[in-house]
Chains A and B, each alone.
Chain A
Amino acid sequence: MPPTSDTPLAAGADADAARAQAPSSSQAPDKVVVQDLTVRYGDKVVLDKASFEIREHEIFGIIGPANSGKTSFLRALNRMDDFTEGMTVEGRVSLDGRDVRAWRNVYALRRRIGVVFPLPVGLPMTIYDNVALAPRLGGERNKRELDRIVEHCLQRAALWDEVKDRLDSLGSLLSGGQQQRLTIARALSQKPDLLLLDEFSIAVDPVTTMRIEDVLKELKHEITIVLVTNLVQQARRLADRTAFFLNGECVEVAPTEDLFTGPIKDQRTRDYVEGRFG
Protein backbone atom coordinates (compact mmCIF):
# COMPACT_ATOMS: atom_id res chain seq x y z
CA MET A 1 0.00 0.00 0.00
CA PRO A 2 1.58 3.29 -1.03
CA PRO A 3 1.40 5.97 1.64
CA THR A 4 -1.33 8.43 0.78
CA SER A 5 -0.23 11.97 0.21
CA ASP A 6 -3.06 13.44 2.24
CA THR A 7 -1.73 11.92 5.44
CA PRO A 8 -0.52 14.76 7.65
CA LEU A 9 3.26 14.60 7.72
CA ALA A 10 4.82 15.25 11.05
CA ALA A 11 8.31 15.31 9.66
CA GLY A 12 10.69 18.12 10.51
CA ALA A 13 11.82 20.98 8.35
CA ASP A 14 14.77 18.90 7.13
CA ALA A 15 12.53 16.40 5.46
CA ASP A 16 10.47 19.19 3.96
CA ALA A 17 13.58 20.74 2.52
CA ALA A 18 14.64 17.46 1.00
CA ARG A 19 11.20 17.00 -0.40
CA ALA A 20 11.23 20.45 -1.96
CA GLN A 21 14.28 19.47 -3.98
CA ALA A 22 12.45 16.61 -5.56
CA PRO A 23 11.24 17.52 -9.04
CA SER A 24 7.54 17.78 -9.90
CA SER A 25 6.34 16.02 -6.81
CA SER A 26 5.34 16.97 -3.32
CA GLN A 27 7.35 14.05 -1.96
CA ALA A 28 10.88 12.78 -2.47
CA PRO A 29 11.39 10.06 -5.06
CA ASP A 30 11.60 6.48 -3.92
CA LYS A 31 15.08 5.29 -3.01
CA VAL A 32 14.17 1.73 -2.24
CA VAL A 33 11.07 -0.10 -3.38
CA VAL A 34 10.14 -3.38 -1.75
CA GLN A 35 7.56 -5.59 -3.43
CA ASP A 36 6.27 -8.85 -2.00
CA LEU A 37 9.57 -9.52 -0.32
CA THR A 38 9.73 -12.94 1.30
CA VAL A 39 12.80 -14.15 3.18
CA ARG A 40 13.25 -17.72 4.35
CA TYR A 41 15.85 -19.49 6.40
CA GLY A 42 15.44 -23.09 5.34
CA ASP A 43 11.69 -23.66 5.56
CA LYS A 44 11.11 -20.93 8.11
CA VAL A 45 9.57 -17.78 6.73
CA VAL A 46 11.05 -14.80 8.55
CA LEU A 47 9.62 -12.09 6.34
CA ASP A 48 6.38 -12.64 4.47
CA LYS A 49 5.42 -10.62 1.39
CA ALA A 50 6.48 -7.24 2.68
CA SER A 51 5.83 -4.25 0.42
CA PHE A 52 6.74 -0.64 1.09
CA GLU A 53 9.07 2.04 -0.17
CA ILE A 54 11.79 4.17 1.32
CA ARG A 55 12.13 7.72 0.05
CA GLU A 56 15.26 9.63 -0.66
CA HIS A 57 16.72 11.69 2.17
CA GLU A 58 14.45 10.36 4.82
CA ILE A 59 15.16 8.37 7.92
CA PHE A 60 13.02 5.31 7.54
CA GLY A 61 12.42 3.56 10.84
CA ILE A 62 11.66 -0.12 11.21
CA ILE A 63 10.36 -1.17 14.59
CA GLY A 64 9.12 -4.46 15.94
CA PRO A 65 9.91 -7.09 18.52
CA ALA A 66 12.63 -9.71 18.12
CA ASN A 67 12.26 -12.17 15.21
CA SER A 68 9.98 -9.88 13.30
CA GLY A 69 12.13 -9.87 10.16
CA LYS A 70 13.78 -6.46 10.55
CA THR A 71 17.34 -7.62 10.15
CA SER A 72 16.39 -10.09 7.43
CA PHE A 73 15.08 -7.19 5.40
CA LEU A 74 18.43 -5.40 5.70
CA ARG A 75 20.27 -8.56 4.71
CA ALA A 76 18.08 -8.98 1.65
CA LEU A 77 18.73 -5.36 0.71
CA ASN A 78 22.50 -5.68 0.44
CA ARG A 79 22.31 -9.31 -0.66
CA MET A 80 24.00 -10.84 2.32
CA ASP A 81 22.00 -13.93 1.38
CA ASP A 82 24.47 -14.56 -1.45
CA PHE A 83 26.89 -16.13 1.00
CA THR A 84 24.46 -17.21 3.70
CA GLU A 85 23.60 -20.86 3.53
CA GLY A 86 19.89 -21.61 3.66
CA MET A 87 18.77 -18.00 3.23
CA THR A 88 16.44 -17.53 0.27
CA VAL A 89 14.85 -14.34 -0.95
CA GLU A 90 11.78 -13.98 -3.14
CA GLY A 91 10.05 -10.89 -4.43
CA ARG A 92 11.79 -7.72 -5.39
CA VAL A 93 13.89 -5.08 -3.73
CA SER A 94 15.01 -2.28 -5.97
CA LEU A 95 17.51 0.45 -5.29
CA ASP A 96 17.12 3.56 -7.45
CA GLY A 97 14.66 1.68 -9.61
CA ARG A 98 16.88 -1.32 -10.24
CA ASP A 99 16.36 -4.76 -8.75
CA VAL A 100 19.31 -5.43 -6.44
CA ARG A 101 19.36 -8.97 -7.78
CA ALA A 102 20.08 -7.60 -11.24
CA TRP A 103 23.41 -6.12 -10.11
CA ARG A 104 26.03 -8.32 -11.62
CA ASN A 105 28.64 -7.08 -9.18
CA VAL A 106 27.28 -7.58 -5.68
CA TYR A 107 30.38 -5.87 -4.26
CA ALA A 108 29.59 -2.68 -6.14
CA LEU A 109 26.06 -2.86 -4.72
CA ARG A 110 27.36 -3.26 -1.20
CA ARG A 111 29.74 -0.35 -1.60
CA ARG A 112 26.72 1.87 -2.15
CA ILE A 113 25.09 0.62 1.03
CA GLY A 114 26.69 1.33 4.39
CA VAL A 115 25.77 -1.00 7.23
CA VAL A 116 26.10 -0.50 10.97
CA PHE A 117 25.61 -3.70 12.97
CA PRO A 118 24.08 -4.07 16.45
CA LEU A 119 27.36 -4.81 18.17
CA PRO A 120 30.21 -2.48 17.32
CA VAL A 121 32.79 -4.24 15.18
CA GLY A 122 36.16 -2.57 15.44
CA LEU A 123 38.17 -4.62 13.01
CA PRO A 124 41.52 -5.70 14.49
CA MET A 125 43.53 -2.98 12.79
CA THR A 126 44.31 0.64 13.53
CA ILE A 127 41.62 3.30 13.68
CA TYR A 128 43.03 4.77 10.48
CA ASP A 129 43.02 1.43 8.69
CA ASN A 130 39.47 0.72 9.82
CA VAL A 131 38.20 3.81 8.06
CA ALA A 132 40.60 3.53 5.12
CA LEU A 133 39.71 -0.12 4.48
CA ALA A 134 36.78 0.41 2.15
CA PRO A 135 38.49 3.09 0.01
CA ARG A 136 41.54 0.84 -0.22
CA LEU A 137 39.41 -2.13 -1.22
CA GLY A 138 38.01 0.16 -3.89
CA GLY A 139 41.54 0.76 -5.18
CA GLU A 140 42.37 4.12 -3.59
CA ARG A 141 46.11 4.30 -2.93
CA ASN A 142 46.77 8.02 -2.70
CA LYS A 143 47.87 8.71 0.87
CA ARG A 144 46.64 12.29 0.89
CA GLU A 145 43.23 11.29 -0.41
CA LEU A 146 43.00 8.51 2.19
CA ASP A 147 43.97 10.99 4.93
CA ARG A 148 41.23 13.28 3.75
CA ILE A 149 38.60 10.51 3.69
CA VAL A 150 39.58 9.28 7.14
CA GLU A 151 39.41 12.73 8.69
CA HIS A 152 36.18 13.61 6.92
CA CYS A 153 34.40 10.39 7.91
CA LEU A 154 35.59 10.46 11.50
CA GLN A 155 34.42 14.04 11.76
CA ARG A 156 31.02 13.21 10.35
CA ALA A 157 30.73 10.36 12.85
CA ALA A 158 31.61 12.79 15.67
CA LEU A 159 34.68 10.79 16.64
CA TRP A 160 37.53 12.82 15.12
CA ASP A 161 38.25 14.98 18.17
CA GLU A 162 38.56 11.96 20.43
CA VAL A 163 40.88 9.91 18.24
CA LYS A 164 42.78 12.36 16.02
CA ASP A 165 45.92 11.98 18.15
CA ARG A 166 45.89 8.19 18.16
CA LEU A 167 44.86 7.08 14.71
CA ASP A 168 47.58 4.44 14.90
CA SER A 169 46.13 2.63 17.88
CA LEU A 170 43.96 -0.44 17.52
CA GLY A 171 40.33 0.23 16.66
CA SER A 172 39.25 -2.68 18.82
CA LEU A 173 40.67 -0.95 21.92
CA LEU A 174 38.17 1.90 21.76
CA SER A 175 35.18 1.94 24.09
CA GLY A 176 31.92 0.43 22.84
CA GLY A 177 30.40 3.81 22.02
CA GLN A 178 33.53 4.98 20.25
CA GLN A 179 33.72 1.73 18.30
CA GLN A 180 30.15 2.17 17.15
CA ARG A 181 30.98 5.66 15.87
CA LEU A 182 34.07 4.16 14.25
CA THR A 183 31.76 1.67 12.54
CA ILE A 184 29.64 4.56 11.29
CA ALA A 185 32.74 6.37 10.02
CA ARG A 186 33.78 3.17 8.28
CA ALA A 187 30.34 2.77 6.73
CA LEU A 188 30.53 6.38 5.47
CA SER A 189 34.01 5.90 4.03
CA GLN A 190 32.62 4.02 1.05
CA LYS A 191 30.46 7.06 0.18
CA PRO A 192 27.19 5.14 0.42
CA ASP A 193 23.96 6.74 -0.60
CA LEU A 194 22.04 4.42 1.66
CA LEU A 195 22.94 3.82 5.29
CA LEU A 196 21.45 0.88 7.18
CA LEU A 197 21.59 0.89 10.96
CA ASP A 198 20.62 -2.28 12.76
CA GLU A 199 19.83 -1.53 16.40
CA PHE A 200 23.01 0.50 16.64
CA SER A 201 22.43 1.58 20.23
CA ILE A 202 22.24 -1.85 21.88
CA ALA A 203 25.79 -1.69 23.21
CA VAL A 204 26.10 2.07 23.45
CA ASP A 205 25.60 4.36 26.44
CA PRO A 206 22.75 6.92 26.31
CA VAL A 207 25.00 9.95 25.87
CA THR A 208 26.75 8.39 22.89
CA THR A 209 23.38 7.28 21.54
CA MET A 210 22.20 10.88 21.55
CA ARG A 211 25.41 12.00 19.82
CA ILE A 212 24.95 9.38 17.12
CA GLU A 213 21.31 10.37 16.73
CA ASP A 214 22.43 13.97 16.12
CA VAL A 215 24.90 12.68 13.56
CA LEU A 216 22.10 10.83 11.77
CA LYS A 217 19.90 13.92 11.67
CA GLU A 218 22.74 15.74 9.92
CA LEU A 219 23.51 12.86 7.58
CA LYS A 220 20.04 12.55 6.17
CA HIS A 221 20.58 15.75 4.18
CA GLU A 222 23.06 13.79 2.11
CA ILE A 223 21.96 10.18 2.21
CA THR A 224 18.99 7.98 2.89
CA ILE A 225 18.94 6.17 6.22
CA VAL A 226 17.16 3.01 7.28
CA LEU A 227 17.02 2.74 11.04
CA VAL A 228 16.08 -0.61 12.49
CA THR A 229 15.47 -0.20 16.18
CA ASN A 230 13.76 -1.91 19.04
CA LEU A 231 13.50 1.39 20.84
CA VAL A 232 10.15 2.80 19.87
CA GLN A 233 11.05 6.23 21.18
CA GLN A 234 14.22 6.30 19.11
CA ALA A 235 12.16 5.76 15.97
CA ARG A 236 9.83 8.52 17.13
CA ARG A 237 12.74 10.92 17.68
CA LEU A 238 14.46 10.24 14.37
CA ALA A 239 12.34 8.57 11.73
CA ASP A 240 10.29 10.48 9.20
CA ARG A 241 8.27 7.40 8.39
CA THR A 242 8.23 4.10 10.19
CA ALA A 243 7.31 0.51 9.40
CA PHE A 244 6.06 -1.86 12.06
CA PHE A 245 7.14 -5.47 11.57
CA LEU A 246 5.63 -8.31 13.56
CA ASN A 247 6.47 -12.00 13.16
CA GLY A 248 7.59 -11.54 9.58
CA GLU A 249 4.65 -9.41 8.61
CA CYS A 250 4.97 -5.77 7.63
CA VAL A 251 1.93 -4.64 9.57
CA GLU A 252 1.92 -0.94 8.83
CA VAL A 253 3.97 1.81 7.21
CA ALA A 254 3.14 5.40 8.06
CA PRO A 255 4.59 8.77 8.95
CA THR A 256 6.10 8.05 12.33
CA GLU A 257 3.92 10.30 14.41
CA ASP A 258 0.78 8.69 12.98
CA LEU A 259 1.76 5.41 14.57
CA PHE A 260 1.65 7.11 17.95
CA THR A 261 -1.14 9.63 17.69
CA GLY A 262 -2.88 9.23 14.33
CA PRO A 263 -6.04 7.30 13.67
CA ILE A 264 -5.61 3.65 14.51
CA LYS A 265 -5.23 1.52 11.40
CA ASP A 266 -4.09 -1.63 13.09
CA GLN A 267 -4.58 -2.13 16.78
CA ARG A 268 -1.39 -4.24 17.04
CA THR A 269 0.76 -1.27 16.02
CA ARG A 270 -0.72 0.98 18.65
CA ASP A 271 -0.41 -1.75 21.27
CA TYR A 272 3.27 -2.17 20.43
CA VAL A 273 4.25 1.49 20.40
CA GLU A 274 2.44 2.02 23.67
CA GLY A 275 4.32 -0.88 25.21
CA ARG A 276 1.43 -3.26 25.71
CA PHE A 277 3.41 -6.14 24.22
CA GLY A 278 6.76 -6.88 22.69
Chain B
Amino acid sequence: MDSSGAQASGTFDADRRNASWWVDRVVQALVFTGGVSAIVLIIGIFVFITGHGFGFITDHMDVGEFFTSPKWRPTSDNNPTYGALALIAGTASVTGLAMLVAVPFSLGAAIFIAEFAKGKTREVLKVLVELLAAIPSVVWGFIGLSIMNPLIIETFDVPVGLNVLNAGVILGLMAAPIMTTIAEDALKAVPEGFREAAEALGATRWQVIFKVVLPAARNGLVAAVLLGVGRGFGETMAVLMASGHSINLPTSPFDSVRALTATIAAELGETAAGSEHYQALFTLGILLFGVTFVINLTADLFIRGRRKP
Protein backbone atom coordinates (compact mmCIF):
# COMPACT_ATOMS: atom_id res chain seq x y z
CA MET B 1 0.00 0.00 0.00
CA ASP B 2 1.41 3.37 -0.91
CA SER B 3 1.92 6.11 1.57
CA SER B 4 -1.11 8.14 0.54
CA GLY B 5 -3.29 5.15 1.23
CA ALA B 6 -1.63 4.68 4.57
CA GLN B 7 -2.28 8.27 5.45
CA ALA B 8 -5.86 8.06 4.33
CA SER B 9 -6.65 5.10 6.55
CA GLY B 10 -5.04 6.82 9.53
CA THR B 11 -4.27 4.74 12.60
CA PHE B 12 -4.84 1.45 10.83
CA ASP B 13 -1.42 1.59 9.11
CA ALA B 14 0.42 3.42 11.82
CA ASP B 15 2.12 0.32 13.19
CA ARG B 16 2.66 -1.59 9.99
CA ARG B 17 6.27 -1.97 8.86
CA ASN B 18 6.17 -1.94 5.10
CA ALA B 19 8.94 -2.49 2.56
CA SER B 20 10.21 1.08 2.56
CA TRP B 21 10.47 1.01 6.36
CA TRP B 22 12.68 -2.06 6.15
CA VAL B 23 14.77 -0.65 3.31
CA ASP B 24 15.31 2.47 5.39
CA ARG B 25 16.45 0.33 8.31
CA VAL B 26 18.85 -1.76 6.25
CA VAL B 27 20.38 1.27 4.54
CA GLN B 28 20.76 2.92 7.94
CA ALA B 29 22.61 -0.13 9.23
CA LEU B 30 24.88 -0.26 6.16
CA VAL B 31 25.76 3.41 6.35
CA PHE B 32 26.40 3.06 10.08
CA THR B 33 28.72 0.11 9.47
CA GLY B 34 30.58 2.06 6.81
CA GLY B 35 31.06 5.02 9.12
CA VAL B 36 32.11 2.94 12.10
CA SER B 37 34.53 0.83 10.08
CA ALA B 38 36.43 3.98 9.08
CA ILE B 39 36.86 4.82 12.75
CA VAL B 40 37.78 1.23 13.65
CA LEU B 41 40.37 1.14 10.86
CA ILE B 42 42.06 4.37 11.86
CA ILE B 43 42.18 3.29 15.49
CA GLY B 44 43.45 -0.12 14.39
CA ILE B 45 46.28 1.44 12.38
CA PHE B 46 47.17 3.66 15.31
CA VAL B 47 47.24 0.72 17.70
CA PHE B 48 49.30 -1.32 15.24
CA ILE B 49 52.07 1.20 14.72
CA THR B 50 52.23 2.29 18.36
CA GLY B 51 52.24 -1.36 19.37
CA HIS B 52 55.27 -2.03 17.22
CA GLY B 53 57.10 1.17 18.03
CA PHE B 54 56.25 1.40 21.70
CA GLY B 55 58.96 -0.93 22.88
CA PHE B 56 61.57 1.36 21.37
CA ILE B 57 60.07 4.46 22.93
CA THR B 58 60.01 2.96 26.43
CA ASP B 59 63.22 0.90 26.40
CA HIS B 60 65.81 2.30 24.01
CA MET B 61 64.81 5.75 22.93
CA ASP B 62 66.78 8.76 23.98
CA VAL B 63 64.26 11.51 23.27
CA GLY B 64 66.97 14.16 23.20
CA GLU B 65 69.01 12.20 20.71
CA PHE B 66 65.99 11.33 18.59
CA PHE B 67 64.99 14.93 18.01
CA THR B 68 68.38 16.69 18.07
CA SER B 69 70.95 14.32 16.64
CA PRO B 70 71.37 13.96 12.90
CA LYS B 71 73.10 10.59 13.36
CA TRP B 72 70.79 7.90 12.08
CA ARG B 73 73.04 4.81 12.36
CA PRO B 74 70.75 1.93 13.17
CA THR B 75 72.96 -0.71 11.61
CA SER B 76 76.13 0.16 13.51
CA ASP B 77 77.38 -3.04 15.17
CA ASN B 78 78.73 -1.71 18.42
CA ASN B 79 76.90 1.58 18.91
CA PRO B 80 73.71 2.11 16.90
CA THR B 81 72.32 5.64 17.20
CA TYR B 82 68.82 6.81 16.33
CA GLY B 83 68.96 10.52 15.70
CA ALA B 84 66.04 11.48 13.45
CA LEU B 85 66.83 15.18 13.08
CA ALA B 86 68.32 14.81 9.61
CA LEU B 87 65.30 12.81 8.46
CA ILE B 88 62.91 15.34 9.94
CA ALA B 89 64.91 18.14 8.32
CA GLY B 90 64.89 16.24 5.03
CA THR B 91 61.13 15.82 5.04
CA ALA B 92 60.55 19.39 6.21
CA SER B 93 62.87 20.97 3.64
CA VAL B 94 61.44 18.97 0.75
CA THR B 95 57.85 19.65 1.87
CA GLY B 96 58.60 23.33 2.42
CA LEU B 97 60.08 23.77 -1.03
CA ALA B 98 57.22 21.76 -2.49
CA MET B 99 54.74 24.20 -0.96
CA LEU B 100 56.68 27.17 -2.34
CA VAL B 101 56.22 25.60 -5.76
CA ALA B 102 52.69 24.27 -5.31
CA VAL B 103 50.88 27.14 -3.56
CA PRO B 104 51.30 29.80 -6.24
CA PHE B 105 50.69 27.27 -9.01
CA SER B 106 47.60 25.72 -7.51
CA LEU B 107 46.03 28.95 -6.26
CA GLY B 108 46.63 30.54 -9.64
CA ALA B 109 45.15 27.56 -11.42
CA ALA B 110 42.17 27.47 -9.05
CA ILE B 111 41.48 31.18 -9.53
CA PHE B 112 41.72 30.81 -13.28
CA ILE B 113 39.43 27.79 -13.42
CA ALA B 114 36.88 29.15 -10.96
CA GLU B 115 36.77 32.80 -11.97
CA PHE B 116 37.97 33.21 -15.53
CA ALA B 117 37.74 30.02 -17.56
CA LYS B 118 34.40 29.46 -19.23
CA GLY B 119 32.51 26.59 -20.78
CA LYS B 120 34.72 24.05 -22.57
CA THR B 121 38.04 25.47 -21.41
CA ARG B 122 36.92 25.14 -17.83
CA GLU B 123 35.71 21.57 -18.17
CA VAL B 124 38.81 20.44 -20.04
CA LEU B 125 41.08 22.10 -17.48
CA LYS B 126 39.25 20.49 -14.58
CA VAL B 127 39.56 17.04 -16.12
CA LEU B 128 43.24 17.57 -16.92
CA VAL B 129 44.02 18.71 -13.38
CA GLU B 130 42.25 15.68 -11.98
CA LEU B 131 44.16 13.44 -14.39
CA LEU B 132 47.37 15.03 -13.17
CA ALA B 133 46.43 14.02 -9.64
CA ALA B 134 46.10 10.42 -10.79
CA ILE B 135 49.70 10.05 -12.02
CA PRO B 136 51.36 7.37 -9.85
CA SER B 137 54.07 8.67 -7.55
CA VAL B 138 56.64 6.25 -8.95
CA VAL B 139 56.19 7.92 -12.33
CA TRP B 140 56.90 11.27 -10.72
CA GLY B 141 59.98 9.73 -9.12
CA PHE B 142 61.05 8.49 -12.52
CA ILE B 143 60.69 11.99 -13.93
CA GLY B 144 62.81 13.23 -11.03
CA LEU B 145 65.52 10.68 -11.77
CA SER B 146 65.65 10.84 -15.53
CA ILE B 147 64.62 14.40 -16.41
CA MET B 148 65.10 16.68 -13.43
CA ASN B 149 68.40 15.12 -12.37
CA PRO B 150 70.40 15.90 -15.55
CA LEU B 151 68.54 19.19 -15.91
CA ILE B 152 69.63 20.36 -12.46
CA ILE B 153 73.21 19.17 -12.96
CA GLU B 154 73.43 21.05 -16.22
CA THR B 155 71.61 24.22 -15.22
CA PHE B 156 73.21 24.82 -11.84
CA ASP B 157 76.53 23.08 -12.47
CA VAL B 158 76.32 20.89 -9.38
CA PRO B 159 77.68 17.35 -9.07
CA VAL B 160 74.42 15.70 -8.01
CA GLY B 161 70.93 16.45 -9.27
CA LEU B 162 69.09 14.33 -6.75
CA ASN B 163 68.50 16.78 -3.93
CA VAL B 164 66.05 19.02 -2.06
CA LEU B 165 65.40 21.07 -5.20
CA ASN B 166 64.59 18.04 -7.30
CA ALA B 167 62.36 16.37 -4.73
CA GLY B 168 60.71 19.66 -3.77
CA VAL B 169 59.78 20.52 -7.34
CA ILE B 170 58.54 17.00 -8.04
CA LEU B 171 56.54 16.94 -4.82
CA GLY B 172 55.17 20.40 -5.51
CA LEU B 173 53.93 19.29 -8.91
CA MET B 174 52.41 16.22 -7.31
CA ALA B 175 50.60 18.17 -4.61
CA ALA B 176 49.42 20.96 -6.90
CA PRO B 177 46.52 19.12 -8.60
CA ILE B 178 44.80 18.07 -5.38
CA MET B 179 45.34 21.53 -3.94
CA THR B 180 43.95 23.08 -7.10
CA THR B 181 40.86 20.91 -6.97
CA ILE B 182 40.13 21.70 -3.33
CA ALA B 183 40.90 25.40 -3.71
CA GLU B 184 38.66 25.58 -6.76
CA ASP B 185 35.84 23.96 -4.78
CA ALA B 186 36.34 26.56 -2.09
CA LEU B 187 36.17 29.39 -4.62
CA LYS B 188 33.08 27.92 -6.27
CA ALA B 189 31.42 27.71 -2.86
CA VAL B 190 31.53 31.50 -2.58
CA PRO B 191 27.98 32.58 -3.41
CA GLU B 192 27.54 34.20 -6.81
CA GLY B 193 25.69 36.99 -5.00
CA PHE B 194 28.95 38.14 -3.39
CA ARG B 195 30.54 38.62 -6.78
CA GLU B 196 27.52 40.40 -8.22
CA ALA B 197 27.28 42.65 -5.18
CA ALA B 198 30.92 43.63 -5.49
CA GLU B 199 30.65 44.08 -9.26
CA ALA B 200 27.64 46.32 -8.78
CA LEU B 201 29.79 48.48 -6.49
CA GLY B 202 32.12 49.07 -9.41
CA ALA B 203 34.80 46.60 -8.36
CA THR B 204 37.08 45.43 -11.13
CA ARG B 205 37.49 41.70 -11.57
CA TRP B 206 40.74 41.67 -9.60
CA GLN B 207 39.14 43.68 -6.85
CA VAL B 208 36.24 41.26 -6.75
CA ILE B 209 38.64 38.35 -6.44
CA PHE B 210 41.07 39.88 -3.96
CA LYS B 211 38.70 41.87 -1.78
CA VAL B 212 35.70 39.57 -1.73
CA VAL B 213 36.14 36.08 -3.18
CA LEU B 214 39.52 35.12 -1.68
CA PRO B 215 38.68 36.40 1.84
CA ALA B 216 35.33 34.61 1.69
CA ALA B 217 37.02 31.37 0.62
CA ARG B 218 39.92 31.79 3.05
CA ASN B 219 39.18 28.76 5.19
CA GLY B 220 38.81 26.45 2.22
CA LEU B 221 42.04 27.76 0.72
CA VAL B 222 43.96 27.20 3.95
CA ALA B 223 42.53 23.69 4.06
CA ALA B 224 43.70 23.10 0.49
CA VAL B 225 47.24 24.17 1.38
CA LEU B 226 47.27 22.06 4.54
CA LEU B 227 46.09 18.98 2.68
CA GLY B 228 48.87 19.63 0.19
CA VAL B 229 51.34 19.79 3.07
CA GLY B 230 49.96 16.51 4.39
CA ARG B 231 50.35 15.00 0.94
CA GLY B 232 53.96 16.14 0.76
CA PHE B 233 54.74 14.90 4.23
CA GLY B 234 53.43 11.45 3.55
CA GLU B 235 54.77 10.97 0.03
CA THR B 236 57.38 8.23 -0.14
CA MET B 237 58.32 6.83 -3.51
CA ALA B 238 58.90 10.03 -5.46
CA VAL B 239 60.88 11.53 -2.61
CA LEU B 240 62.94 8.38 -2.22
CA MET B 241 63.84 8.50 -5.90
CA ALA B 242 64.41 12.23 -6.30
CA SER B 243 65.93 13.35 -3.00
CA GLY B 244 69.21 11.44 -3.20
CA HIS B 245 68.39 9.51 -0.06
CA SER B 246 71.47 10.44 1.90
CA ILE B 247 71.49 11.53 5.51
CA ASN B 248 72.25 15.23 5.62
CA LEU B 249 71.22 18.37 7.40
CA PRO B 250 70.53 20.41 4.28
CA THR B 251 72.12 23.83 4.05
CA SER B 252 71.24 24.51 0.43
CA PRO B 253 68.64 23.25 -2.03
CA PHE B 254 71.40 21.32 -3.77
CA ASP B 255 72.07 19.05 -0.80
CA SER B 256 70.80 15.51 -0.96
CA VAL B 257 68.53 14.58 1.90
CA ARG B 258 66.62 11.63 3.20
CA ALA B 259 62.95 11.73 4.18
CA LEU B 260 61.21 10.01 7.10
CA THR B 261 58.95 8.09 4.77
CA ALA B 262 61.73 7.00 2.46
CA THR B 263 63.75 5.76 5.41
CA ILE B 264 60.94 3.50 6.55
CA ALA B 265 60.34 2.21 3.04
CA ALA B 266 63.99 1.51 2.36
CA GLU B 267 64.98 -0.04 5.67
CA LEU B 268 61.96 -1.91 6.95
CA GLY B 269 62.44 -4.86 4.64
CA GLU B 270 65.97 -5.44 5.90
CA THR B 271 65.32 -5.47 9.62
CA ALA B 272 64.43 -8.39 11.80
CA ALA B 273 60.85 -8.08 13.03
CA GLY B 274 60.82 -6.91 16.63
CA SER B 275 64.44 -5.76 16.66
CA GLU B 276 65.45 -2.39 17.97
CA HIS B 277 65.92 -1.04 14.46
CA TYR B 278 62.51 -2.36 13.44
CA GLN B 279 60.88 -0.68 16.41
CA ALA B 280 62.75 2.55 15.74
CA LEU B 281 61.32 2.63 12.21
CA PHE B 282 57.85 2.26 13.67
CA THR B 283 58.60 5.18 15.95
CA LEU B 284 59.28 7.23 12.83
CA GLY B 285 55.91 5.98 11.64
CA ILE B 286 54.24 7.22 14.82
CA LEU B 287 55.87 10.61 14.29
CA LEU B 288 54.62 10.76 10.69
CA PHE B 289 51.17 9.59 11.69
CA GLY B 290 51.01 12.21 14.44
CA VAL B 291 52.10 15.06 12.19
CA THR B 292 49.80 14.19 9.28
CA PHE B 293 46.96 13.62 11.74
CA VAL B 294 47.41 17.10 13.19
CA ILE B 295 47.72 18.65 9.72
CA ASN B 296 44.60 16.94 8.42
CA LEU B 297 42.68 17.73 11.59
CA THR B 298 43.61 21.39 11.25
CA ALA B 299 42.58 21.33 7.59
CA ASP B 300 39.28 19.76 8.57
CA LEU B 301 38.66 22.41 11.21
CA PHE B 302 39.30 25.08 8.59
CA ILE B 303 36.87 23.42 6.19
CA ARG B 304 34.28 23.37 8.94
CA GLY B 305 35.02 26.99 9.67
CA ARG B 306 34.11 27.77 6.09
CA ARG B 307 30.55 26.65 6.66
CA LYS B 308 30.05 29.00 9.57
CA PRO B 309 28.46 32.32 8.70
Contacts and interface: CB of A to CB of B under 8 A. Distances in A.
Interface of A: 78, 80, 83, 85, 107-111, 113-115, 117, 119, 121, 123-125, 133-134, 137-138, 170, 172-173, 183, 186-187, 189-190
Contact of B309 (A85, A121, A172): A172
B198 interface: yes
Given A85-B118, A85-B119, A123-B212, A111 B201 contact: yes
A170 B215 CA distance: 13
Given A107-B203, A107-B204, A186-B197, 13 more contacts: A83-B199, A110-B199, A117-B197, A121-B197, A123-B197, A123-B212, A124-B194, A133-B198, A133-B201, A134-B201, A134-B203, A137-B202, A137-B211
A138 to B, nearest CB: 7
A113 B203 CA distance: 12
Contacts of B202: 107-111, 134, 137-138, 190
A128 to B, nearest CB: 14
Interface string B200-213: 11111101000110
A117 B119 CA distance: 26
A80 B199 contact: yes
A119 B193 contact: yes
B111 interface: no
A172 B119 CA distance: 31
B196 interface: yes
B28 to A, nearest CB: 35
Contacts of A83: 199, 205
Nearest to B191: A121
Given A85-B118, A119-B193, A123-B194, A173 B203 contact: no
A85 B203 CA distance: 19
Contacts of A133: 198, 201, 203, 211
A137 B197 CA distance: 13
A80 B197 CA distance: 11
Contacts of B204: 107
Contact of A80 (B193, B196, B215): B196
Secondary structure class of chain B's binding surface, majority of residues: helix
B202 to A, nearest CB: 3
B216 interface: yes
B309 A183 contact: no
Contact of A115 (B118, B119, B200): B200
Contact of B198 (A119, A123, A189): A123
Interface string B216-234: 1000000000000000000
Contact of B201 (A80, A85, A170, A186): A186
B194 A121 contact: yes
Contacts of B215: 124-125
A183 B201 contact: no
Contacts of A78: 200
Contacts of A124: 194, 215-216, 309
A47 B193 CA distance: 22
A114 B200 CA distance: 7
Nearest to A110: B202
Nearest to B119: A85
Residue from the set B118, B201, B212 with the largest chain A CB neighbour count within 10 Å: B201
Contact of A117 (B196, B205, B309): B196
A110 B201 contact: yes
24 contacts: A83-B199, A85-B119, A107-B203, A107-B204, A109-B202, A110-B199, A110-B202, A113-B200, A117-B193, A117-B196, A117-B197, A119-B193, A121-B194, A123-B194, A123-B212, A133-B203, A133-B211, A134-B203, A137-B201, A137-B211, A172-B309, A183-B197, A186-B197, A189-B201
Given A85-B118, A170-B309, A190 B201 contact: yes
Given A121-B194, A124-B215, A124-B216, A110 B309 contact: no
A189 to B, nearest CB: 8
A97 B191 CA distance: 35
